[in-house]
Amino acid sequence: MQTKAVMKKNPSFRLSILLNLIEGLISGCNFIAIYGAIQLLWSDSMDFKSILILTAFVAGIFILRLIIYSVGYTKGQIGGAMVSKNIRLFLGDKLKRIPLSRFTKTQTGTYINGTTADVNNYENILTHKIGDILKNIVLMLMVIVYISTKHLPSGMVLLAAFLLLIPALALSFLCVRIYGNKKNIISVENVSSITEYITGIQTMRAYGFGGEKNKTVTNAMKDYSDISFVYELVVIPIGVGFNILQWLTFPLVILLSGRACLQGVIPVADFVMLSLIPLFICRLNGTLFIDLTSYKNLMISKKRIADIIEEKEEIANNNDFSPTSYEIEFDGVNFSYVEGESVLKNISFVAKDKKLTAIVGASGSGKSTILNLLSKYYTPHNGSIKIGGLPIDSIASEKVLSYISQVDQDVFLFNDSVKNNIRYARPTATDDEIIEACKLANCHDFIMNMPQGYDTPVGENGNRLSGGERQRLSISRAILKNSPIILLDEATASLDIENELAVKQAIVNLLNAERTVIMIAHTLSVIKNADNIIVIDNGQVVEQGTHEELLENKEKYYSMWNVGE
């Protein structure tokens, strides 16, 4: 339903269609001029005056066509570009409303193609294809009607040639449906594998499987050229067969009109013109066949754009969300990323307001998933999550996230300056506030050692920074955002000792302010003083309490602590 509104044509586009139709009609008048010239020649009545009249007629048609074509072309370009601009803006905005779970389930190529190449293809349909096709159909019909008035049997032969387009297009459309869709799937795989190759190139080279992965990319490209080749291979014979049948009209019209001329049914001038017309009609039919087949092919792009437009969106209602406390409660929460593979099983716990709650557990036990649900990146299958006693399920994620700062293991940095990367956390922050946050996050010194200080570009995804530096920048963002809830995925274990100490100090500074903190801890010593420690095992809460209580329990936490010590 939304598709119609987003792809709505505008008056400029509609005017260009009308002008294209008129241009098609006017082009047909050229045949009247040609007929006039043949008649003049044959009747032996050619003089300078009649040549002048003929020239003026042809020049008049030319000027009129030129004006209509220029206005129609300009309006078509403007109208088509306006439609595609609407689509591009809508898709850009839509991406932020598509639930995160869709991006993990769908190939990246679907969205990259759908928002770029497919929109370009659709723009091409609007700005070129539709106008040309309609103009040629009108011109064709006009010529057929005109010829029929001269000699009906010849007109009927030309009409039959035109109608041959129907079975020929039925076959070519079938090929487009079969191979066009296959081509689409392969193209999406192609784009996805190239994206993966480029983003993961460092890891691949580091582990020496760049060559292996490169084969996946080249294979995907080869698959694409193979399917394009097969597609051409099946469409070409249809086009050739259609053209052969078309050209049969040439002798047929000569035979029919020649006989009529000999019988005195039509004048010689008519016969001369009728014998020339099939040359033109056959070419025009050939162009229409190619244009309509490629139109159908490009229309696959329209369907793919529509699929993204109609994708289910996150709840975006305007329900007010103003919790007065920031206690977090999970009650009987179940969740799985993949159907049937349960990740969280009946999770219930309370993270008290302004207290530090730690989550510990083996790798893959579901710790990050708990934070992902709280940030509304995913929706629990059942159970409820509340902040300050208010359920978050019917609240727009942007509103919930405005109360949350998240410090993840994977820090995403934009290809921008250090300062701007931190400012994303609070766009209104002053430079002084950014510097203050960086001092608390232990990053001020290393930033000042960079060539342009806070204005130094961090490179694509911050590839000029070390892991510890990236983590500290992420902490500075959280400090700057100054939100009442902090979700922290502590991952200092992989850092060198100097970076580990710097990150730990930054975390201490972050936790100093009174906030509700949920912290995933990979090293237990960091959370010894936590107000509550939740132990997760295989997606379930198996224990909770303070460090001392859990040690006394002598259960899971006790053995984890002893292994760690």
Which residue in 112, 283, 286, 89 sits closest to 184, CA to CA? 112
389 binds ligand ATP per the rule CB under 6 A: no
- Least Å distance, CB 302 to ligand ATP, is 31
Site residues for ligand ATP, 164-223, by CB under 6 A, read none
CA–CA separation, 390 vs 518, rounded Å?
18
Q: Which two tokens stand for residue 137?
A: 């159909």
365 binds ligand ATP per the rule CB under 6 A: yes
CA–CA separation, 294 vs 291, rounded Å?
5
Identify whether the C-beta of residue 376 lies closer than 8 Å to the C-beta of residue 400. Answer: yes
C-beta of 410 vs 460, nearer to ligand ATP: 410
Identify whether the C-beta of residue 424 lies closer than 8 Å to the C-beta of residue 447. Answer: no
C-beta of 55 vs 525, nearer to ligand ATP: 525
Q: Which of 369, 375, 471, 474 binds ligand ATP (CB under 6 A)?
A: 369
- Least Å distance, CB 357 to ligand ATP, is 15
Looking at residue 130, its amino acid is: I
- The 405-444 site mask, x for binding ligand ATP (CB under 6 A), equals ----------------------------------------
C-beta of 373 vs 400, nearer to ligand ATP: 373
How far is Cα of residue 40 from the mean position of the Cα atoms in its chain? 60
C-beta of 323 vs 468, nearer to ligand ATP: 468
- Least Å distance, CB 342 to ligand ATP, is 10
C-beta of 30 vs 336, nearer to ligand ATP: 336
C-beta of 336 vs 546, nearer to ligand ATP: 336
How far is Cα of residue 202 from the mean position of the Cα atoms in its chain? 26
Identify whether the C-beta of residue 522 lies closer than 8 Å to the C-beta of residue 491. Answer: yes
Site residues for ligand ATP, 100-139, by CB under 6 A, read 104
C-beta of 367 vs 423, nearer to ligand ATP: 367
| Locus of tokens 């008056």 | 11
- Least Å distance, CB 99 to ligand ATP, is 12
Bridge partners of 338, per DSSP, are 341
Q: What is the DSSP letter of 524?
A: G
CA–CA separation, 151 vs 523, rounded Å?
94
C-beta of 65 vs 367, nearer to ligand ATP: 367
Segment contacting ligand ATP by CB under 6 A, of 28-36, 46-54, 230-238, 362-370: 362-370
Q: Which of 257, 285, 293, 368 binds ligand ATP (CB under 6 A)?
A: 368
Pairing of strands 356-361, 516-520: parallel
Segment contacting ligand ATP by CB under 6 A, of 5-13, 145-153, 356-364, 445-453: 356-364
The widest CA-to-CA distance across the chain, in whole angstroms, is 121
C-beta of 86 vs 348, nearer to ligand ATP: 348
CA angle 375, 379, 385 (to 5 degrees): 65
Q: Which of 361, 380, 462, 468 binds ligand ATP (CB under 6 A)?
A: 361
Site residues for ligand ATP, 310-349, by CB under 6 A, read 337-338, 343
Pairing of strands 516-520, 532-537: unpaired
CA angle 491, 492, 498 (to 5 degrees): 155
- Least Å distance, CB 370 to ligand ATP, is 7
C-beta of 274 vs 344, nearer to ligand ATP: 344
| Locus of tokens 């080749």 | 229
Segment contacting ligand ATP by CB under 6 A, of 151-159, 229-237, 357-365, 497-505: 357-365
| Locus of tokens 């510890």 | 468
- Least Å distance, CB 488 to ligand ATP, is 13
154 binds ligand ATP per the rule CB under 6 A: no
Residues binding ligand ATP: number (CB under 6 A): 12
Q: What SS3 state is found at 515?
A: coil
C-beta of 338 vs 563, nearer to ligand ATP: 338
149 binds ligand ATP per the rule CB under 6 A: no
| Locus of tokens 């009927």 | 156
C-alpha to C-alpha distances, 365 to 195, 489, 523, 536, 555, nearest whole angstrom: 30, 14, 15, 6, 17
364 binds ligand ATP per the rule CB under 6 A: yes
Residue 262, Cβ density class (10 Å: 0-12 exposed, 13-18 middle, ≥19 buried): exposed
| Locus of tokens 């010590």 | 565
C-beta of 368 vs 375, nearer to ligand ATP: 368
Pairing of strands 382-387, 532-537: unpaired
165-175 vs 210-247: helix crossing angle, rounded to 10: 170
Q: Which of 79, 114, 323, 366 binds ligand ATP (CB under 6 A)?
A: 366
C-beta of 436 vs 537, nearer to ligand ATP: 537
- Least Å distance, CB 312 to ligand ATP, is 18
Terminal Cα-to-Cα distance of the chain (whole angstroms): 61
Contact residues for ligand ATP, defined by CB under 6 A: 104, 337-338, 343, 361, 363-369
